[in-house]
């Protein structure tokens, strides 16, 4: 079996005050159990209260971050296009642009490249394939999400 094209490494560097990966109306950020624990702790809240305040459940019951009601943008993206919880952001966010759907086809990757100035930026560094693979699996894990708190089978 041939290794995926990205295993050779991909040039990327997150760009200051960009926020393009976070400011799409209607974007959905799935949460892992670890995300809920980490972010609620950062807000000095218990998980249940934080879920009630900052999250909602999808039609299939998975928890996702709320969006701002006025524009559908992530509640944690500030006016300077900075993530206000960057150090504890959800693993789905940390995995961008290394989402499975972005890496699946040349067409999908080219669409992400057109939208993300960090890919092949002048200051981009080579992200090795193993690091990309770790992010792909982290994104898959968060997409599974969780549907109740406390979780029945805490991982």
Give yes or no for a contact between 140 and 100, defined as CB atoms under 8 angstroms apart.
Answer: yes
Domain boundaries, the chain: 5-144
Q: What is the pLDDT of residues 12-58, one digit of tens each?
A: 999 988 888 888 888 899 999 999 999 999 999 999 999 999 999 99
Contacts of 126 (CB under 8 A, 6+ apart): 9, 10, 11
Q: What is the pLDDT of residues 74-123, one digit of tens each?
A: 999 999 999 999 999 999 999 999 999 999 999 999 999 999 999 989 99
Encoding tokens for residue 2? 């041939």
Which residues sit opposite 126 in a β-bridge?
11
């Amino acid at each position: 079996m041939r290794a995926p094209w990205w295993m050779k490494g991909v040039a990327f560097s997150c760009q200051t005050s960009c926020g393009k990966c976070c400011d799409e109306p209607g974007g959905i950020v799935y949460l892992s159990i670890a995300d809920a624990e980490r972010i609620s702790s950062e807000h000095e809240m218990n998980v249940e209260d934080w879920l009630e305040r900052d999250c909602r459940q999808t039609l299939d019951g998975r928890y996702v971050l709320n969006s701002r009601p006025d524009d559908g943008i992530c509640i944690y993206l500030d006016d300077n296009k900075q993530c206000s919880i960057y150090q504890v952001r959800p693993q789905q966010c940390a995995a961008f642009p290394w989402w499975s759907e972005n890496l699946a086809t040349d067409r999908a990757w080219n669409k992400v490249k057109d939208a993300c100035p960090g890919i092949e930026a002048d200051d981009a560094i080579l992200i090795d394939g193993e690091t990309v693979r770790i992010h792909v699996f982290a994104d898959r894990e968060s997409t599974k999400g969780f549907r109740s708190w406390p979780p029945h089978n805490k991982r």
